[in-house]
Chains A and B, each alone.
Chain A
Amino acid sequence: MDAEALARRSQKGDREAFARIYELYAKRIYAYLYYRSCSRETAEDLTATVFMKALEKLDGFRPELGGFSGWIYAIARNALADHFRRRDQTVSLESVVSDVWDLPGCDDVALDAENRELWETVKSFVAALGSEQREILLLRVWDDLPYAEIARISGKTEGACKMCFSRALSSLREAMPLSLFIAFLMMKPPAA
Chain B
Amino acid sequence: MRANENRILRELYRIDPALRAQEDVLRHAIRKLLEAKPEARMDPGFEEGLKQRLIAEFSASRIPLQAKPVPRFSRLGLIIASGAAAAACLAFVAFIALRTGEPSLPAMRELARSLPPSAPASAPASAPASAPASAPASAPASAPASAPASAPAVARPELGGRPAVFPPSPVSAGAGAPALIAAADEKRKSSDGSAGPLYDRLRADADQAMTEAEEQSPARSLAPPPASGAAPSPLAQAAAKQAKELLASRNNPNFNTEEYGHSVENSFSETVKEPLSTFSIDVDTASYANLRRFLNGGSLPPPDAVRIEEMVNYFSYDYKGPEGSDPLAFDTELAKCPWDAEHLLLRIGLQARRIAEKDIPPTNLVFLVDVSGSMEEPNKLPLVKESLKLLARRMRQQDRISLVVYAGSAGLVLAPTPGSRKQEILAAIDALESGGSTAGGEGILLAYQTAKAAFIAGGNNRVVLATDGDFNVGASSDGELVRMIEQKRKDGIFLTVLGFGMGNYKDSKMQKLADSGNGNYAYIDSLGEAEKVLARQMAGTLFTIAKDVKIQIEFNPLAVAEYRLIGYEKRMLAARDFADDSKDAGELGAGASVTALYELVPAATASPRGDLKYQQSTITKAAGEGELMTIKFRYKKPDGDTSSLIERPVAKEVRDLGKTSDSYRFAAAVAEWGLILRDSAFKAKANYSQVEELAAGARGPDSEGYRGEFLRLVRIAQSMSAESR
Interface residues of A (CB under 8 A from B): 10, 12-13, 15, 18-19, 22-23, 26-27, 30-31, 34-35, 40-45, 47-49, 51-53, 55-57, 59-60, 71, 74-75, 78-79, 81-83, 85-87, 89-90, 92-94, 96, 98, 114-115, 118, 155, 169-170, 173, 178-179, 181-183, 185-187, 189-190
Contact = CB atoms under 8 A, between A and B. Distances in A.
Contacts of A90: 138
Interface in B137-151: 138-141
Query: Which of B53, B61, B85 has its CB near the most chain A CB atoms (within 10 A)?
Result: B85
A85 B42 contact: no
B468 to A, nearest CB: 22
B100 A30 contact: no
A189 B40 contact: yes
B569 interface: no
Closest 6 CB pairs of A and B: A85-B141, A86-B106, A13-B66, A115-B38, A30-B42, A34-B40
Contacts of B43: 40, 44
Contact of A182 (B26, B38, B159): B26
Given A15-B63, A56-B89, A89-B140, A48 B50 contact: yes
A182 B31 CA distance: 10
Interface of B: 4, 8, 11-12, 15-16, 26, 29-30, 33-34, 37-38, 40-43, 46-47, 50-51, 53-55, 57-59, 61-63, 65-66, 82, 85-86, 88-89, 92-93, 96, 99-100, 102-107, 110, 138-141, 158-160, 162, 165-167, 169
B164 to A, nearest CB: 9
B54 A82 contact: no
A15 to B, nearest CB: 5
Contacts of A187: 37-38, 40
A19 B57 CA distance: 11
B620 to A, nearest CB: 61
Contacts, number: 155
A159 B86 CA distance: 37
B86 A26 contact: no
A75 B89 CA distance: 14
B11 A82 contact: no
A22 B66 CA distance: 21
B162 to A, nearest CB: 6
Contacts of A49: 92-93, 96, 107
Contacts of A42: 100
Contacts of B166: 57, 60
27 contacts: A13-B65, A15-B58, A15-B59, A26-B51, A31-B42, A43-B40, A43-B42, A45-B100, A51-B50, A52-B57, A56-B86, A56-B169, A57-B166, A59-B82, A82-B141, A86-B103, A86-B105, A86-B107, A89-B138, A90-B138, A92-B140, A94-B140, A155-B159, A169-B15, A183-B33, A185-B8, A189-B40
A74 B88 CA distance: 21
B100 A41 contact: yes
Contacts of A98: 158
A13 B96 contact: no
A148 B63 CA distance: 34
Contacts of A31: 40, 42
A47 B92 CA distance: 12
A22 B160 contact: no
A185 B138 contact: no
B55 A18 contact: yes
A150 B60 CA distance: 33
A94 B553 CA distance: 79
A13 B62 contact: yes
B373 to A, nearest CB: 21
Q: Which of B33, B54, B62, B165 has the most CB of A within 10 A?
A: B165
Given A23-B51, A42-B100, A182-B30, 16 more contacts: A30-B40, A41-B100, A44-B43, A44-B46, A47-B42, A51-B50, A57-B166, A78-B110, A79-B107, A82-B110, A83-B107, A89-B138, A118-B38, A178-B26, A182-B33, A186-B33
B30 A52 contact: no
Given A48-B50, A49-B93, A56-B86, A190 B57 contact: no
